Amino acid sequence: MGNTIEPEVQNKMNEVCNNIFDINCSVLDIGDREGFTGYIDFINPEELKNENVMKGKDRYNRQFIVFKSKITPLNSDPIQFFTTFFKRYTSDYNIIYHTAGHYGELLFKTEGGATISQMNILYELLKNGNVELTYEQMRENRIENPKSLQNIEDETQNLLEIIKIGWD
């Protein structure tokens, strides 16, 4: 993502993040817990109980949303993801968001911070319960789906995958 974000992009990122955190879902109270690195990476699937999506704030008032999702690749078993999406820093001017977690695969790789495109996909997924992407879009957005992205031929890059909220 680089060190400087243009004001127009920053405004769009803020808007999408506001939409993400305005999603109607239950609140998960994590109390004063925090990860060793300062990441919100310690939430486990059992804490969501029967919920697929929950949101909250940590002890530093950083927003997070945690969700279960899955992809069912062609000719393969479903791949389950458990992802926490959160604001990395407490300052208002720093809008770097990451994904984290130690309980399975993460839906996105966000080294250097989530991109506006990843945020838009996340918002659509949370808003609609699913999102359809081509393999090429998944690659471009660093969506972690090792089974379905392996050995993809050029003619299949435009095939759609459906990412769904929940594990069923």
What would the pLDDT profile of 123-135 be if each residue is shown by its tens digit? 999 999 999 988 8
Spatial contact of 167 and 103, defined as CB atoms under 8 Å apart: no
Which pLDDT value is given to residue 97? 86
Largest CA distance in the chain: 50
Residue type, 51: E
For residue 59, the SS3 value is: coil
Residue type, 93: Y
Which pLDDT value is given to residue 4? 64
For residue 98, the SS3 value is: strand
φ, ψ of residue 127 in degrees (nearest 5): -70, -45
Instruction: Return the domain boundaries, the chain.
Output: 7-161
97-100 vs 79-87, strand pairing mode: antiparallel
For the chain, list residues with pLDDT below 50.
1-2, 148, 155
For residue 7, the SS3 value is: helix
**Element (H or E) spanning 110, and its range?**
none
Which pLDDT value is given to residue 122? 95
Which pLDDT value is given to residue 139? 85
* Residue-wise pLDDT tens digits, 110-119: 888 889 999 9
Which pLDDT value is given to residue 106? 87
Residue 144: Cβ within 10 Å count: 16
**How far apart (Å, rounded) are the C-alpha atoms in residues 42 and 84?**
9
Which pLDDT value is given to residue 89? 74
